[in-house]
Amino acid sequence: MGDYKLSEQEFNKIRNEVLQTWPTGAEVDFDEAVEYQKAIPENKNFAKVLWKAHKNGVTLLQPRAGVALIKDHIELLQYLESEGEADLLPTTIDAYTRLNKYENAADGVEKSLAAKTSLLNGFPAVNHGVKGCRIVTESLKVPVQIRHGTPDARLLAEISLAGGFTSFEGGGISYNVPYAKKVPIQKSIDDWKYVDRLVGAYEERGISINREPFGPLTGTLVPPCISHVVGIIEGILALRQGVKSLTLGYGQGGNLLQDVVALKALKEVANYYFKKEGFEDYELTTVFHQWMGGFPADEAKAFAVISWGTAAGVMAGADKIIVKTPHEARGIPTKEANAQGIKCSKQVANLLQGQNILLGGRYQEEFDLLKREISDLMDKIYELGDGDIEKGTVAAFEAGTLDVPFAPSIYNNGKILPMRDNEGLIRIYNKGSLALSDEVMEYHKARLEERANYERRKVSFQMVTDDIYAISKGRLIGRTK
């Protein structure tokens, strides 16, 4: 393995700049932060709690949650911890902070103070600074993670890790392509190299910080091979900077066979590439996201989607499930609705825990297909990068051999069109320039024709639209009426 690690000198140079981009950056003192992190007990360290669950075969549950003001945010998280029975907690960051618009976030905080309610869609951790973050993490009994969607999360990482958070979501692709419009891939990869190096620096000082690439991408009919390849790449890039605790994610597709196959394959294939890249010393866990696309507005139906997501996640053997709420289709949930989502999920998870459900049928066939798809995509990346995954990734997005459906980024080809087959598995209808072999595409085509015949209509864009709406309208597959 080559030495791709960001040098200390380079890192420090960037750090000086980054910490000056907002006044609270001055609060960060790395050595002091290391001491602070060292004092955090094991049962509040995200990496350790998650790894313990992994070894015990238990699936942990984690909500999303974040509001503008510290006091309200603490009240929210404490409620989710006690009443909601959350195993792990989040701090979801607002959309302005995600785009480094700290002035707008400051404005949002002020307006929220005035309105006596949160006008931001998350917690502006940078604005609240190291001190604000510590007040939050110290008020809680379980580990807390930063969840966001930030292409350039360098300052956020510095502040929040110094602030006592022990896990940090995101990655150079997964927090760019689905979340940004005009950020070049190389730029976000470079900025995330910094974040990973920062985590590596903590690891070198004996502090475990969990890192979690964002698996679901746009959350909308993403074929598993695409999100898996992104996860594997981000995993490699993170390991290169010294990350040790890595959680790869996958967003539920809805078909049980595909979801179970996907999560099992993710572990196997990721380990294969990590070893291939020369890594041995890491802890790999998985996270399963309950359905990330459009939700039904009716709350009873939302509970159904939440339950089925939990069931699929437990059956797939996920170490952690990210939980939705009955308010999903409508807006940021109240704390009560958020707790309901976790409680519902907890009940399902507890009903399934230990049942050891094994699928039969086409399990092996789908497993082999997915591995084949991933190797098609990865081979091309290695090829385009002359053996280097980072260079290959940038080239692959440019050439469209890696392509995320429905993404806003102008650096994403945006040509592939996914669609459900007759059993609801997500297949690829239009591959654009995706590096999938003809054999694979013929299989996809055949499965889609099967559906078209059943529905007595041609495979068409209308089917994609129907599939996008389907779950929110109460079904998995967007059938004609």
Determine, following the binding rule CB under 8 A, whether residue 102 of this chain makes contact with other proteins.
Answer: no
- Tokens standing for residue 46: 């995200």
Q: How far is the CB of 316 from a copy of itself (least distance, A)?
A: 13
| Region 189-248 residues binding ligand B12, contact defined as CB under 6 A | 218-220
Determine, following the binding rule CB under 6 A, whether residue 92 of this chain makes contact with ligand B12.
Answer: yes
Per-residue binder mask for other proteins (CB under 8 A), 12-51, x = binder: ----------------------------------------
What is the C-alpha to C-alpha distance for residues 333 and 80, in angstroms, rounded to an integer?
Answer: 12
Determine, following the binding rule CB under 8 A, whether residue 76 of this chain makes contact with a copy of itself.
Answer: no
One DSSP character per residue, 289-345 reads E---SPPPSSHHHHHHHHHHHHHHHHHTT-SEEE---TTTTTSSPPHHHHHHHHHHH
Q: Are 227 and 292 in contact (CB under 8 A)?
A: no
b/e 273-311 (16+ beta carbons within 10 angstroms → b) = bbeebebeeebbbbbbbbbbbbbbeebebbbebbbbbbb
Of 105 and 396, CB closest to other proteins: 105
Total binding residues toward a copy of itself, as defined by CB under 8 A: 48
Q: Identify the bridge partners of residue 285 per DSSP, sorted by sequence position.
A: 247
b/e 189-213 (16+ beta carbons within 10 angstroms → b) = bbbbbbbbbbbbbbbeeebbbbbbb
Determine, following the binding rule CB under 8 A, whether residue 181 of this chain makes contact with other proteins.
Answer: yes
Of 51 and 123, CB closest to other proteins: 123
- Residues designated catalytic: 98, 169
| Region 325-354 residues binding other proteins, contact defined as CB under 8 A | 327, 329-334, 337
What is the C-alpha to C-alpha distance for residues 288 and 91, in angstroms, rounded to an integer?
Answer: 18
Determine, following the binding rule CB under 6 A, whether residue 340 of this chain makes contact with ligand B12.
Answer: no
What does the DSSP 8-state code read for residue 141? S
Q: How far is the CB of 265 from a copy of itself (least distance, A)?
A: 16
First-to-final CA distance of the chain? 55
Residue ranges that bind other proteins, judged by CB under 8 A: 95-96, 98-99, 101, 104, 107-108, 111, 117-121, 149, 178-182, 218, 220, 293-294, 297, 327, 329-334, 337, 406-408, 461, 465, 468
Residue ranges that bind a copy of itself, judged by CB under 8 A: 254-257, 296, 298-301, 303-308, 310-311, 326, 339-341, 343-348, 350-361, 363, 422-424, 471, 474-477
Residue ranges that bind ligand B12, judged by CB under 6 A: 64, 92, 95, 98, 121-122, 149, 178-179, 218-220, 292-295, 327-332, 406-408, 468
